[in-house]
């Protein structure tokens, strides 16, 4: 059962292979979603400072019957924090807001602040300063693991140039029709586990006839096929939902996609339009 399986990070920490994403799930809905996911067997919950739901996610954790140590909770350092002092204060704010002594993982949400996303400025010094804050929190035991999100190869190199603790995780957009193979390989070669947000392409993959037919072949749903695809690539999917039925369906992925079908899925035409999600600089 996938909910009981883990990967091992470079520092020896076990991380559950499937996580509940909580982007755009707010207030009491976030609390209830987390509580229900844990009841269903999820042990990995993903949130972020910029989601505005850290406190509610933490409430869901506390409302469960499990001890904090039995769960893996990730948050993300807001993309705007590009000084050591700002990043340090933001890490402390997350811990205080959530009422936790530690987070299992914190990652820099983006190498660029959202209002500069796609610009020429990669904020190298700012990312190095933010990383130094994560390193210090890691060394203090406040973060059990640290990593990156939405970085490109040159951004990763910037961190590696000055770090004393190398990144352990890289969370990126990766799904059927959009698998950045070179970036995944580069991240892995630098010792990072790669996590895949938006494994169903923000719902756009529901419209793909080839994917629908493939899912029917395996007698599974489109999300199940897409999540399984990411898992077979060695990625860690983070499907987001507040619907308990969808949570259960997303976790029922104990089947195997044949290699020929994996190849066929990998050869599909990339998504050109993500619909409403395209208004965001990145989608999670």
> Could you read off the pLDDT tens digit of each residue along the chain, which spans 284 residues?
999 999 999 999 999 999 999 999 999 999 999 999 999 999 999 999 999 999 999 999 999 999 999 999 999 999 999 999 999 999 999 999 999 999 999 999 999 999 999 899 999 999 999 999 999 999 999 999 999 999 999 999 999 999 999 999 999 999 999 999 999 999 999 999 999 999 999 899 999 999 999 999 999 999 999 999 999 999 999 999 999 999 999 999 999 999 999 999 999 999 876 666 555 555 45
Q: Please name the residues in contact with 278: beta carbons below 8 A apart, sequence gap of 6 or more.
A: none
pTM of the model: 0.96
* Residues 88 and 133: beta-carbon distance below 8 Å: yes
CA separation (Å) from 56 to 52, 132, 249? 9, 28, 24
Q: Which of 7, 42, 51, 84 is catalytic?
A: 51
Nearest to 23 by CA among 221, 208, 197, 156: 197
Residue 51 annotated to the active site: yes
Q: Does 202 carry a binding-site annotation?
A: no
* Residue 283, pLDDT score: 47
Task: For each of the domains in the chain, give its residue range(s) and CATH number, in order of start.
Answer: 1-204+235-241 (3.20.20.100)
* Residue 277, pLDDT score: 52
């Amino acid at each position: 059962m996938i909910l009981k399986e883990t990967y091992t990070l470079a520092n020896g920490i076990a991380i559950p292979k499937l996580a509940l994403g909580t982007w755009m799930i707010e207030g009491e809905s976030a609390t209830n979603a987390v509580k229900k996911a844990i009841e269903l067997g999820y042990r990995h919950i993903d949130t972020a400072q910029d989601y505005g739901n850290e406190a509610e996610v933490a409430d869901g954790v506390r409302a469960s019957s499990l001890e904090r140590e039995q769960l893996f909770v990730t948050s993300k350092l807001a993309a705007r924090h590009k000084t050591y002092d700002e990043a340090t204060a933001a890490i402390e704010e997350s811990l205080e807001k959530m009422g936790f002594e530690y987070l299992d993982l914190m990652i820099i949400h983006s190498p660029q602040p959202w209002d500069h996303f796609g610009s020429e400025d990669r904020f190298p010094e700012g990312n190095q300063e933010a990383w130094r804050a994560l390193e210090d929190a890691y060394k203090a035991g406040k973060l059990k693991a640290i990593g990156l999100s939405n970085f490109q190869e040159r951004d990763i190199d910037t961190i590696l140039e000055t770090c004393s603790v190398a990144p352990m995780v890289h969370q990126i957009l990766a799904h059927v029709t959009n698998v950045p193979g070179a970036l995944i390989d580069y991240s892995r070669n630098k010792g990072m586990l790669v996590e895949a947000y938006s494994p169903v392409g923000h719902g756009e993959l529901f419209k793909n006839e080839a994917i629908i037919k493939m899912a029917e072949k395996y007698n599974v749903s489109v999300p199940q096929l897409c999540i399984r695809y990411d898992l077979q690539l060695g990625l860690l999917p983070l499907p987001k939902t507040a619907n308990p039925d969808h949570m259960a369906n997303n976790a029922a992925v104990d089947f195997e996609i044949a290699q020929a079908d994996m190849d066929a899925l990998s050869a599909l035409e990339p998504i050109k339009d993500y619909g409403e999600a395209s208004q965001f600089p990145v989608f999670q």
